[in-house]
């Protein structure tokens, strides 16, 4: 099979790495890809939302399957674009159709789905520019901290958590009236604050059947001890040690099953990954958000633990035969630490040479914001590289990642030295 992976991060390098191990896969293209994918696949400089150019590429190279990494093309309907095109409809697309991708594309849509199917989540109400005053009144009924969410996609920046009610009101106005997050904040969901520890659950579905992948926990803040600005993710651990069998059973019964049956009931066509952001409140799991794709850097710890052939799984998803597959998971723990450009998540410089990669031993360097320039590997983004390791315990795995990071260098390289600190 010839497979196209869309995206350019550590997630997509991991997809390419895992896909390349499959005997079913003859050739891999990645659009646009990075320096890591360039070593195992052919990079093509096409944007993930440029459907017309993607079509040309797919036809030219007789691509059989498209694996969609990020949410943007899914929310913009890439799967429907393939199904609606006579020349493309035979191509397997891994990722939900547009209607289902709204679970990530609109927070209000996701909340309505959760309530309609009795899935545990925070209480909420949503508001637009015509009822800002009602929003203020709703805030007054809540206890601090106040959780404000831009309804639409805001590149991971659309959630504000505020302690002061006046500040919350001012931010609500700024989102609704002054378009703080552009069109994404034309509607705002205000939620009850849930106090607990977060984890993520990853589910594969063909729309009818599902398989649960290992749990993971990511570290979103830039600073040690979970302080400072939010990032795309600074590291991850899998499995999550506090997710006992009993707790995982609750997740499956109360959240995964009603999610999959809810998709079918609501006619939301879904063939792909469901990433369920959860919070453990007391002993109960509650849903914080749905994403319609894998997480990054969670992919860098979840997929390495998957022993089953990923392409076989994708084929089964496409043929709606996911139940025929046995998912085998490596018992060992996996951790990843993200190396980032100095200054990230605010302004940072690019084009810094990355050295020492040839010395990495017993860890995998998944490239993210890194590219090849004049035969050198240089930084091209905020999150540069994820260093993944296995261990019998997550502590052992994390130690290996840090030992290898000591051998790597680029100007102003930064990373968190405390991944897993709270476990
Ligand atoms: P989201 O984009 O919905 O995942 O929200 C981003 C982050 O905000 C989450 O990972 C949580 O840390 C936090 N968050 C979102 N909703 C809530 C909530 N209702 N209670 C507490 N924290 C929340
Ligand atoms: N690491 C969080 C995400 O991928 O959304």
Mutate to test the pocket of ligand 2, among 233, 235, 292 (most ligand atoms within 8 A of CB): 233
Binned at pLDDT 50, 70 and 90, residue 224 comes out as very high
Q: Residue 132 C-alpha to ligand 1 middle, in angstroms?
A: 22
Question: Contact 380/34 with Cβ under 8 angstroms?
Answer: yes
Residue 350, burial from CB neighbour count under 10 angstroms (0-12, 13-18, 19+): middle
- Residue from 15, 110, 156 to probe ligand 2 pocket by mutation (most atoms less than 8 Å from CB): 156
CA distance 150 to 126: 10
pLDDT of residue 413: 98
Per-residue tokens: 384: 């540069």
- Quote the ligand 1 centre to 163 CA distance (angstroms): 14
Query: Tens digit of pLDDT for each residue in 60-106?
Result: 999 999 999 999 999 999 999 999 999 999 999 999 999 999 999 99
- At 57, the pLDDT band (50, 70, 90 cuts) reads very high
The residue behind tokens 């007789």 is 62
Dist CA 165 CA 28 (whole Å): 52
Most informative mutation of 104, 275, 416 for ligand 2 (most atoms within 8 A of CB): 275
Compute the distance between CA of residue 230 and CA of residue 215 in angstroms, rounded to an integer: 21
Give residue-wise pLDDT tens across range 362-394. 999 999 999 999 999 999 999 999 999 999 999
Counting atoms of ligand 1 from 1, which one is nearest the CA of 149?
Answer: 3
pLDDT band (50, 70, 90) for residue 269? very high
Vertex 92 angle, CA 79 and 41, to 5°? 100
What pLDDT is attached to residue 230? 87
Other Cβ atoms closer than 10 A to 250: 17
pTM over 0.75: yes
């Amino acid at each position: 099979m010839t497979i196209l992976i869309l995206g350019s991060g550590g997630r997509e390098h991991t997809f390419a790495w895992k896909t390349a191990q499959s005997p079913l896969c003859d050739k891999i293209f990645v659009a646009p890809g990075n320096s890591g994918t360039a070593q195992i696949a052919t990079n093509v400089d096409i944007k993930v939302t440029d459907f017309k150019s993607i079509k040309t590429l797919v036809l030219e190279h007789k691509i059989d399957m498209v694996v969609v990494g990020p949410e943007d093309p899914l929310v913009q309907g890439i799967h429907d674009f393939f199904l609606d095109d006579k020349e493309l409809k035979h191509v397997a697309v891994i990722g939900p159709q547009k209607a289902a991708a709204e679970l990530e594309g609109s927070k209000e849509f996701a909340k309505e789905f959760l309530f309609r199917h009795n899935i545990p989540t925070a209480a909420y109400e949503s508001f637009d520019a015509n009822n800002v005053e009602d929003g203020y009144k709703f805030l007054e009924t809540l206890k601090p901290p106040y959780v404000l969410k831009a309804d639409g996609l805001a590149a991971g920046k659309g959630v504000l958590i505020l302690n002061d009610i006046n500040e919350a009101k001012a931010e609500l106005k700024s989102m609704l009236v002054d378009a703080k997050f552009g069109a994404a904040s034309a509607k705002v969901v205000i939620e009850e604050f849930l106090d607990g520890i977060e984890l993520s659950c990853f589910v594969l579905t063909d729309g009818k059947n599902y398989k649960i992948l290992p749990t993971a926990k990511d570290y979103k803040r830039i600073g040690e001890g979970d302080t400072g600005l939010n990032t795309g993710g600074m590291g991850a651990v899998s499995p999550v040690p506090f997710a006992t069998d009993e707790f995982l059973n609750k997740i499956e019964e109360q959240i995964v099953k009603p999610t999959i049956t809810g998709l079918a009931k609501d006619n939301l066509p879904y063939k792909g990954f469901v990433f369920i952001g959860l919070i453990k409140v007391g002993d109960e799991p509650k849903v914080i958000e749905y994403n319609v794709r894998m997480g990054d850097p969670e992919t860098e710890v979840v997929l390495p633990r998957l022993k089953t052939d990923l392409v076989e799984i994708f084929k089964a998803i496409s043929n709606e035969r996911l139940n025929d597959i046995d998912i085998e998971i490596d018992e060992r723990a996996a951790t990843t630490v993200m190396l980032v450009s100095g200054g990230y998540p605010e302004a940072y410089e690019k084009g810094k040479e990355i050295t020492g990669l040839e010395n990495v031993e017993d860890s995998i360097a998944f490239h993210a914001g890194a590219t090849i320039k004049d035969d050198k590997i240089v930084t091209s983004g905020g999150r540069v590289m994820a260093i993944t390791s296995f261990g019998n315990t997550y502590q052992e795995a994390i130690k290996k990642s840090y030992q290898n990071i000591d051998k790597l260098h680029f100007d102003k390289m930064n990373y968190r030295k405390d991944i897993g600190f709270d476990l």
